[in-house]
Amino acid sequence: MAASETLDAEIELIASSLLPEESLSSPPLSWPREIAIVNAESQRTLHIRIAEEYPKRQAVTVEVKGNDIGRDAAAEWSKRINGFLDSWEESEDFPLYQLATTHLLPLLAPETAPPAPKITAPPPPPPIPHHALLTSHHLLSSTKRKNFLALSSQLSLVGFSKVGHPGIYYAVGDKDDLEEWMREVKSWNWLALRVRVGVEPIRDAEVELEGRGKESGARGGKGRGDWVELKKIGDALEWLKKRGREQMLLDIGIGGSSE
């Protein structure tokens, strides 16, 4: 895929992950490509400039501007952004999307002053996160891979899709969001898609943070979502093992000694 086509796909993914108060503009079909993302609440703007050598690291420059960012603060922000860019991996799928959603978009959020203390009734307990596990014969389609990333942002889901053979898809989120995710994924054209674990509650110790994704203030407290692509069965097992759930794959014969 040409660099311009890859970049167009990433810009589309970034646009799908924006919050209601954020907007993106990017003139098409010209190098260097310019992307501007504005947060209407904070009045901050994220400027991304991409040269024709993309996806090389040196092809990308980033700057955040805003009325609340003075000269000294701008220098500090520049150091932070350069630190994010130091982790750039040009061999990674969708590197600009990963950089933007993981590190850059949170910089646009408005600063909030701590509220004055007041006596209120205790908040209701957070909803119990649910999870679901699907498998298919394979995941090779770039369209499906892009759709998984976009859907996770729209529904504030945490999880992964494992590409290649077999395809493995694991998602964590609120029950209603997961049910919508399940309906949408099932509607795609699949070879041997199977529901291994339906939408079920998770009751282990780490679910509160996990169910919210990135940025606890975004999307009404749900976050933007946090979806990753994995290339190997071992990577999927390790992702689940960190959460004490690797047995989900082992129980269906994936990841045993025969893999």
Where does residue 164 fall: left (phi above 0), alpha (psi -120 to 50 degrees), or beta otherwise? left
Sign of the C-alpha dihedral computed for residues 12, 143, 187 and 137 taken in this order? negative
pLDDT for position 258: 46
SS3 172: strand
Burial 79-100, CB ≥16 within 10 A → b, else e: eebeeebeebeeeebbbbbbbb
Residue 113's pLDDT band (boundaries 50, 70, 90)?
low
- Reported as a single tens digit per residue, the pLDDT across 197-210 is 999 998 764 554 45
CB 20 within 8 A of CB 4: no
Domains located in the chain, CATH noted: 3-108 (3.10.110.10), 130-250 (3.30.70.100)
pLDDT tens string 40-71: 998 999 999 999 898 898 999 999 998 888 88
Q: Is the pLDDT of residue 127 over 80?
A: no
Handedness of CA 77, 80, 82, 85 (dihedral sign): negative
